[in-house]
Amino acid sequence: MSATATVAKPPLDDVMLAMDVVDTLRRRRSLVERELDESGREQDLKERLRRIYSAQGIEVSDAILEAGVNALKEDRFVYQPPPPGLAVQLARLYVQRGRWGRWLLAGLLVLALALGAWQVFVAGPTAALPERFVALHAQVLAATSEPDAIALAGNLLASGNAALAAGRTADARAALIQFQQMRNHLLASYRLEVVNRPGELTGLWRVPDDNLQARNHYIVVEALDAANRPVRVPVTSEETRTTRLVSRWAVRVEEPTFQRIAADKLDDGIIQNNLFGTKPAGTLQTTWHFPTTGAAITDW
């Protein structure tokens, strides 16, 4: 043997028995508190424990009884919770993952859907705006040689790019819509016919607000394509200064023109000369078949 003696560990059975002694003492807490609080009574407590185990057919040595009583005094074999800290909080979160994990997963799913929708409906279309402006400008240049149309396309392209450069996305989208309407109007081909159907107005007159002694005369027209289908056209009302897409509106004429068309309708109920104007593809201008400035209203 070496000079330094090795301390032998107690057998496992003794350890387990000592733990059972502590457990027994805890269950009889009133007995323990009374006996341990009085000096000289510890030996009586051990004797009582010996009798309890003897009644169960278990022989317990003095050493084990001593170890059990001392362990109770020292709070051994008692679970001591770890001190609070980050590791403890993380462990508790992990144990409770079944409760908060569902909410976290649902939140992540909602966030992913929101990010996807933002990418599809906001970020993607916004990023594509410069290319769409360039494409519209190229389509206009390929469709017309009319100076006014080319100049208007250039102005719309410049205003759209300026809005994008300044971060005014709403203004850029508004300019894009106006550009699209201009392109569509340029490519459209239609004729303007005087409306002549039962129960519908062919003409009307209005008293302007700034001159109550005057009358403004209008002829109601509708835009039709080669297949007689209505064509929606951007028309600006001279009364409200707003532009709407309409297929029917009223064009301002002088009184002699108004009376001429009225007489054509009154003689037999049919307007023989009902072609008021034509708008060929590739131009923004309408070729008028009756004298007019092109001023219009969209409501009456």
Residue 132 and residue 150 in one domain: yes
Q: What is the pLDDT of residue 42?
A: 65
- Whether the model clears a pTM of 0.75, i.e. scores above it, the answer is no
Residue 182 and residue 197 in one domain: no
Is residue 209, in this structure, part of any structural domain at all? Answer: yes
Q: What is the pLDDT of residue 154?
A: 95
CA 122 to chain CA centroid, nearest Å:
9
Tally of domains within the chain = 3
pLDDT tens digits for range 173-226: 999 999 999 999 999 999 999 999 988 999 999 998 888 889 999 999 999 999
Residue 196 and residue 285 in one domain: yes
Task: Give dist(CA 123, CA 169) in Å, integer.
Answer: 11
Using an 8 Å Cβ cutoff, are 73 and 36 in contact? Answer: yes
Is residue 5, in this structure, part of any structural domain at all? Answer: no
Is residue 56, in this structure, part of any structural domain at all? Answer: yes
Is residue 222, in this structure, part of any structural domain at all? Answer: yes
Q: What is the pLDDT of residue 88?
A: 73
Residue 246 and residue 200 in one domain: yes
Backbone phi and psi for residue 216, each to the nearest 5 degrees, phi listed first: -105, 125
Q: What is the pLDDT of residue 150?
A: 95
Residue 194 and residue 157 in one domain: no
Pick the last residue of a domain from 168, 187, 206. Answer: 187
Q: What is the pLDDT of residue 110?
A: 83
- Sequence length of the chain is 300
Residue 149 and residue 242 in one domain: no
C-alpha distances out from residue 36 to 60, 73, 261, Å? 20, 9, 124
Task: Give dist(CA 95, CA 89) in Å, integer.
Answer: 10
Is residue 148, in this structure, part of any structural domain at all? Answer: yes
Q: What is the pLDDT of residue 103?
A: 79
Q: What is the pLDDT of residue 77?
A: 47
Q: Exposure of 25 by Cβ count < 10 A (0-12 exposed, 13-18 middle, 19+ buried)? A: buried
Q: What is the pLDDT of residue 224?
A: 97
Q: Which domain holds residue 149?
A: 121-187
Task: Give dist(CA 243, CA 235) in Å, integer.
Answer: 5
C-alpha angle with apex 213: 265 to 257, nearest 5 degrees? 25
Task: Give dist(CA 35, CA 41) in Å, integer.
Answer: 5
Q: What is the pLDDT of residue 221?
A: 98
Residue 228 and residue 145 in one domain: no
Residue 42 and residue 140 in one domain: no
Q: What is the pLDDT of residue 101?
A: 73
Pick the last residue of a domain from 187, 204, 227. Answer: 187
Is residue 145, in this structure, part of any structural domain at all? Answer: yes
Residue 171 and residue 235 in one domain: no
Q: Which stretches of the chain drop beneath a pLDDT of 70?
A: 1-42, 44-45, 68-69, 71-80, 116, 118-125
Residue 173 and residue 222 in one domain: no
Is residue 153, in this structure, part of any structural domain at all? Answer: yes
